[in-house]
Amino acid sequence: MTLKLQMLGTGSAFAKTYFNNNALIYDEQYTLLVDCGVTAPQALHQMNKPFNEIDAVLITHIHADHVGGLEELAFTMKFRFQRKMKLYIAEALVDTLWENTLKGGMYQKDEIMQLSDVFDVCPLKPAMAYDITNGLRIELLPTQHIPGKDSYSIYINEHIFYSADMTFNPLLLHHLVNTRGCDVMFHECQLEGIGEVHTTLKELMSLPQSMREMIYLMHYADNKDEFVGHTAEITFLEQGKIYSF
Ligand SMILES: O=c1ccn([C@@H]2O[C@@H]3COP(=O)(O)O[C@H]3[C@H]2O)c(=O)[nH]1
Ligand SMILES: [Zn+2]
Ligand SMILES: [Zn+2]
């Protein structure tokens, strides 16, 4: 099964050169949006892709660069396209996404009272595989990001790791490669400094060569070009480009 991946953006939370780190995953005619940050509506607009062409959105965690575009997406779907988009989300995030993020902007008495009034909500249990289509299987893997904040990386089609924002977890990466057949990793990356809530380039560079060859960097800062040529076997993902896996 060959999937295609196209990043709407590859930027870190406050990057200005790149859009937010959100992705489109294509399985033939099906399109899954992975995260929908503040810049996602603008990025989609520039790609000439209306919200209506997206089949579902999946959320990794609640930070504005991952969910800040959901209000525009949901309002546009409701008032322009008269339908709800499917929302794949860890069950632990359902209430907080509504109560702490969307309700303030979206609440309308008798019209929009809960998340399910604007999304077709599909709560996911972590560590369980779900077939989204015949050719797209996803599993949420809880990964550490901010203390007390639930955050979920994604294991796709039993061989692709797509990291949420996360601190370095070499044990998980080794486990996926050694026991679960992982051969591609899209990994968020903080290019310099101490990775308090993210994984640093230095940490990823400490992995064995065979794993570095699998890694594509995303969620990077504006000065990415300074690091091109200094990442050994590790590749930078580029926003807008279509990759097949
Ligand atoms: O303890 C903290 C919490 C947050 N932050 C910043 O806020 C950003 C929120 O989105 P993000 O998770 O993509 O990146 C985060 C960081 O840039 C931080 O530096 N330290
Ligand atoms: Zn982020
Ligand atoms: Zn985050």
Whole-number Cα distances in Å, 165 to 45, 196, 207: 25, 11, 18
Q: Where are the domains of the chain?
A: 4-244
What is the whole-number distance in angstroms between the Cα of residue 180 and the centre of ligand 1? 30
Span from the CA of 165 to the centroid of ligand 3 (angstroms) = 5
pLDDT in tens, 190-209: 999 999 999 999 999 999 99
Average pLDDT over the chain reads 98
Read off the pLDDT band of 91 (50, 70, 90): very high
* Class (C level, CATH) for 4-244: alpha beta
Q: What pLDDT, on a 0 to 100 scale, did the predictor assign at position 24?
A: 98
- Residue among 22, 62, 165, 197 to mutate when testing ligand 1 (max atoms within 8 A of CB): 197
User: DSSP alpha helices (H): ranges in the chain?
Assistant: 40-46, 64-67, 70-79, 94-96, 103-106, 170-180, 201-205, 209-212
Is 13's C-beta closer than 6 angstroms to any atom of ligand 1?
Answer: yes
Nearest CA owner, ligand 1 atom 4: 197
- Each residue's pLDDT tens digit, 126-160: 999 999 999 999 999 999 999 999 999 999 999 99
**ipTM exceeding 0.95, yes/no:** yes
Ligand 1 in reach of 144 Cβ (< 6 A): no
CA of 114 to the centre of ligand 3 (A): 24
Over residues 27-84, the pLDDT tens digits come to 999 999 999 999 999 999 999 999 999 999 999 999 999 999 999 999 999 999 999 9
pLDDT of residue 46: 98
Residue 243: partners with Cβ closer than 8 Å, 6 or more residues away = 4, 5, 6, 216, 237
Pocket lining: 66 vs ligand 1, CB cutoff 6 Å: no
| Nearest atom of ligand 1 to the alpha carbon of 12 | 13
Distance 107 CA to ligand 2 centre (A): 26
With bands split at pLDDT 50, 70 and 90, how would you rate the model's confidence at 235?
very high
Tell me the pLDDT tens digit for each residue of 4-14: 999 999 999 99
d(CA 167, CA 144): 6
Q: State whether the beta carbon of 139 lies less than 6 angstroms from ligand 1.
A: no
Contact 38, 73 (CB under 8 A): no
Query: What's residue 240's pLDDT?
Result: 98
Nearest CA to ligand 1 atom 8: 13
The sheet with strand 242-244 has its strands ordered as 119-124, 85-90, 56-58, 30-34, 23-27, 4-7, 242-244
* Residue 146 near ligand 1, beta carbon < 6 Å: yes
pLDDT of 186 above 80: yes
